[in-house]
Chain A
Amino acid sequence: MKKNFTNIYRVAGLLSVLLINPLLMKAQLNVGINAGISRNSLISNRGYRSNTDYTKVDGFTAGMVVRYPVNKYVTIGVEPSFIGKNYKIVRNDYYQGVYQATYNNYIQLPMLATFSLSNQRMLGGISAGGYSAYWAHSRKKGVIPNLSDLSTQDGDYTNVFQNIKPFSYDETYHFDNKLDNRWEFGWVAGLDFQYTLSRQFAYFMTARYYYSLTDQGKNYTINQEQRFNQTVVISAGLLFRTGQHHKKHRWQYD
């Protein structure tokens, strides 16, 4: 199943390059930079871990956008970016204070088609497409009980750290080829808003929802717990129209 997805995206990637290349040569492009915040959820069948919750953690994203207006209503584009897909495991009640935050950085390439409506100044649209991402870096930070470092405190404990001393860490995670699936593929959908400043420039804001179809882990055991990223990104940026400056040019909604 996963292999099929990989093949599909390989073909999609190749086609995209073949299709976008001529557009780049033609240079009727809107190019921009953007930055924003991401909020990721780790979706898994984590089952029955007691007093344990997965929570969302905010991250940052920055990147560029390249858009080609196909016609008055439709734009296609890519939005290569650097994005944080973070999450946190927290424990509660007796285990209050135990947590592990995972900060994952991905290099991501979404490819989108945008359908938009506009007037003279503003544009609103909806986008959808697919994305591929490479898990470039991971850092883990947390506080957990160190069973090999017991407290000398007596009495009835109301918190695990009264009995077992805490161990704090903040370290780079070293990827394991056997365990970690560093390529992620999925769908992306979103909303677009754009405000024209001048002939060359426009502000834009986007909201994106990334839905991963690939497990973060390689399938190395039966009944493996699967983990998927689901990320919401809000970003803002500046768009610049390239090429054909000598002609009267139009934004894609003109």
Chain B
Amino acid sequence: MIDKRTIKGSYKSRKIYFLKVLLIIVLPLTVACRKELAPEINPSGVAGKDFKEIFDAFWNGMNRNYVMWDIDSTNWNEMYRVFSPAFAKLQFSDPADRLKAAHYLRQMTAGLKDSHYTLQFNDPLLADSIMIPADIRLKQRPDYHSPYPADYFDQVAQRYLDQPYYDAAYNTDPEHSLRYIAGTIHHNILYFRLNAFSVYRAFNSDNTRMTTLLNFVFNSIKNNNTAGVIIDLRDNTGGDLQDLNFFSGRFINTPLQYGSSRYKSNNNPLDYTSWMPALVTPVAGSKPYTGKIVVLVNMYSISMAELTTMALKAMPNTTVIGERTYGANGSLTAEADLNGGSFTIGDFAVIKTASAVFKFKDNQIYEGLGFPPDILVPYDQSGVAAYTDKQLEKATSLFTP
């Protein structure tokens, strides 16, 4: 016979056992959760009236948007450790502190490799504090010199080009006041001089002087009726990326890979996409250009001027003459396009930075270094003063049998 007390005791111990089991299962789940993830702040959304907030927005924005952390020597984490406490001490209402903040930001960014990088302040007090690390780097080059005088290329055209030749000016936008020159040298070498790239827009404008000039250039390339072409990209400040296809695409009839590029795939500093082929697509109806192509460059050949040089250099019949270029090979686009690149810190500052890194077909990244010429012909101050163009003369000599 079963004792009722034994049954009662058994139920009791079973209940306690169930509770223990439940406790073992449930308790760990309640105590071990992840730390709550702090939301990222959009730098453009900050009020920009507090230096701790400004510093955090700037540092985080750079950490997230800057596309060259893998090739940059700046230790951005160290910048945080050094400058975060310094910014916390600054008062936005104090003009001296605002100047100090701009000085700190300049120090933080002085070594950045991206040659498109520009830090600009909206505060009128800080208007002169603009920071362009590449310009500092340029001035440290042993071969540093000023750009050519404003009338230099017109004078050179007068002296070296067959008469008559074409010239045209057109302002597509305030940054790119176009001044193009085209003609022949020795009646069999096409010469085309561009101070900036906005060829597509200029060609589609109602500026007949410009379209006549460009038609002459395009027809000469298409008809292969000259011994070669000299494309003068010295002091060319860059411009529209679409000109790669629209202009360089006239020398080929099949797509040309001249390098590759990549950009940010996600928010951490070293989140990158795969390398994608950088291509020039031929213009409809174009033929392979069989003549000699010579590209003139100097240390003021910037961005699109460098990409065009590299695209043409990817063709077997191209020689680059002059100096090492500026070294701004990344591409700029809206932040939303590639989730990286340029951004703002509220109303306080504007940061312009590349959205993509480019490497040439030789697998070298020339960002911050500049693309080297095949034939180095240095800037000649005395020659420039007399409008004697040693670089153009060298280019012309390549066509002499």
Residues of A within 8 A of B (CB): 1, 43-52, 73-74, 89, 95, 100, 113, 115, 126-128, 130, 140, 144-150, 152, 160, 164, 167, 169, 171, 176, 178-179, 187, 189, 213, 217, 220-226, 228
CB pair A146–B32 under 8 Å, yes or no, is no
CB pair B337–A160 under 8 Å, yes or no, is yes
Residues of B within 8 A of A (CB): 17-18, 21-22, 24-26, 28-29, 32, 34-35, 37-42, 45, 59-60, 63, 76-77, 80, 241-242, 244-246, 249, 259-261, 263, 265-270, 273-274, 276-279, 281, 283, 331, 333, 335-339, 355-356, 358
Question: Residue B80 contacts which of A126, A213, A222 (CB distance < 8 angstroms)?
Answer: A222
CB pair B338–A145 under 8 Å, yes or no, is yes
CB pair A169–B63 under 8 Å, yes or no, is no
Q: Which residue of A lies closest to B37 (CB)?
A: A45
List the A side residues contacting B336 at CB < 8 Å.
Answer: 50-51, 95
In the bound complex, CA of A225 to CA of B41 (Å): 12
In the bound complex, CA of A88 to CA of B35 (Å): 24
Q: Dominant SS at the A interface?
A: strand
CB pair B267–A100 under 8 Å, yes or no, is no
List the A side residues contacting B28 at CB < 8 Å.
Answer: 128, 130, 187
Q: How far is the CB of A74 from chain B (nearest CB, A)?
A: 6
Q: Could you give 13 example pairs across A and B, Cβ below 8 Å?
A: A44-B37, A146-B279, A147-B261, A147-B356, A148-B278, A148-B279, A148-B331, A149-B281, A160-B337, A178-B270, A187-B29, A189-B29, A217-B268
Q: Which residue of B lies closest to A169 (CB)?
A: B274
CB pair A147–B355 under 8 Å, yes or no, is yes
CB pair B339–A222 under 8 Å, yes or no, is no
Residue of A49, A95, A100, A164 ringed by the most chain B CB atoms within 10 A: A49
Residue of B18, B276, B333 ringed by the most chain A CB atoms within 10 A: B276
CB pair A113–B268 under 8 Å, yes or no, is no
- Decide yes or no: A225 and B40 within 8 Å by CB, A147-B331, A147-B338, A148-B356 being known contacts: yes
Q: How far is the CB of B133 from chain A (nearest CB, A)?
A: 21
Known: A46-B266, A149-B276, A213-B34. 11 other contacts (CB 8 A): A47-B267, A95-B336, A115-B21, A130-B28, A147-B337, A147-B356, A187-B28, A220-B270, A221-B269, A222-B63, A224-B268
Question: Residue A228 contacts which of B34, B45, B335 (CB distance < 8 angstroms)?
Answer: B34
Q: Which residue of B lies closest to A230 (CB)?
A: B34
CB pair B265–A49 under 8 Å, yes or no, is no
List the A side residues contacting B35 at CB < 8 Å.
Answer: 1
Residue of B24, B59, B246, B283 ringed by the most chain A CB atoms within 10 A: B24
CB pair A187–B32 under 8 Å, yes or no, is yes
Q: How far is the CB of A169 from chain B (nearest CB, A)?
A: 5
- Decide yes or no: A149 and B21 within 8 Å by CB, A47-B42, A50-B339, A222-B77 being known contacts: no
Q: How far is the CB of B319 from chain A (nearest CB, A)?
A: 24
Q: How far is the CB of B91 from chain A (nearest CB, A)?
A: 24
CB pair B358–A148 under 8 Å, yes or no, is yes
Question: Residue B21 contacts which of A52, A74, A164 (CB distance < 8 angstroms)?
Answer: A74
CB pair A148–B259 under 8 Å, yes or no, is yes
CB pair A47–B40 under 8 Å, yes or no, is yes
Question: Residue A179 contacts which of B270, B273, B355 (CB distance < 8 angstroms)?
Answer: B270
Q: Which residue of A lies closest to B242 (CB)?
A: A150
CB pair A47–B32 under 8 Å, yes or no, is no
Q: How far is the CB of B328 from chain A (nearest CB, A)?
A: 15
CB pair A149–B29 under 8 Å, yes or no, is no
In the bound complex, CA of A169 to CA of B273 (Å): 10
Q: Which residue of B lies closest to A113 (CB)?
A: B25
In the bound complex, CA of A217 to CA of B131 (Å): 33
Q: Which residue of A lies closest to B258 (CB)?
A: A148
In the bound complex, CA of A213 to CA of B278 (Å): 40
CB pair A115–B277 under 8 Å, yes or no, is no
In the bound complex, CA of A69 to CA of B331 (Å): 63
List the A side residues contacting B244 at CB < 8 Å.
Answer: 150
CB pair A47–B41 under 8 Å, yes or no, is yes
List the A side residues contacting B24 at CB < 8 Å.
Answer: 113
Q: How far is the CB of B102 from chain A (nearest CB, A)?
A: 22
CB pair A147–B32 under 8 Å, yes or no, is no
Q: How far is the CB of B112 from chain A (nearest CB, A)?
A: 16
Question: Residue A152 contacts which of B21, B245, B276 (CB distance < 8 angstroms)?
Answer: B245
